Amino acid sequence: MANGTPRLAIFDFDGTLVDSQHAIQACMESAFSALGLPAPALSQTHRVIGLPLEKCMMLLAPDQSPDVHARLVEGYKSAFFALRTDGGMVEPLFPGALEALDALQAAGWQLGIATGKARRGLDAVLGSHNLHRRFVTLQTADRAPGKPDPTMLHWAMDEVGARPVDTVMIGDTSFDMAMAKAAKVGALGVVWGYHSPDDLRAAGADRLAEGYAELPGLVRELWEKQTCAS
């Protein structure tokens, strides 16, 4: 607690806490192939991870109609459900993630998630890693406007009672950094995800973490800078 108010560290999920790129790409390929369309390359998929599915399909298939975009979304959801049901979903935590969460909690930070995932998908992965108890607020794109709109961060802070000056957003994409800037919270980029360091800096990252071992210290450093400037 800082001056009686909570400190809140909000994590993106895909590409920040879990490495879900191969599962996401497999579902993209299934959705596009079902409609006889060429599937996006993994590098193209990386560029849209974190956005709402509807926006992803618009960007990946810009020449297609809204009806096709809607069918791609449904195809992706069906493929994702089938992959999870069949036990083929592989979404490992990044090395050092659990230790960093432990360190932040030990230092008195409340933890949250703001993700482009739907709540059902987020709950499934949190359950598979026994992570639900870690997070006091879960914000998903099926219940709020997607990134980079700041609504998820506003709702997370409201739920916990945290001020923007006591909040840090941690993510791997330019959408996360832009969302943080729009909400006037700290923007901490991680370089092990799906957007480049240059993309993160251009979107407003205040700091970049090279690995999870340094992340708790950077969160504290960024918070101290914010509170000193306020």
Give the span between the Cα atoms of 114 and 147, in whole angstroms. Answer: 9
Pairing verdict, β 7-11 and 167-171: parallel
Tokens 């659990």, residue located:
98
End-to-end CA distance of the chain: 16
Q: Mind telling me the catalytic residues?
A: 12, 14
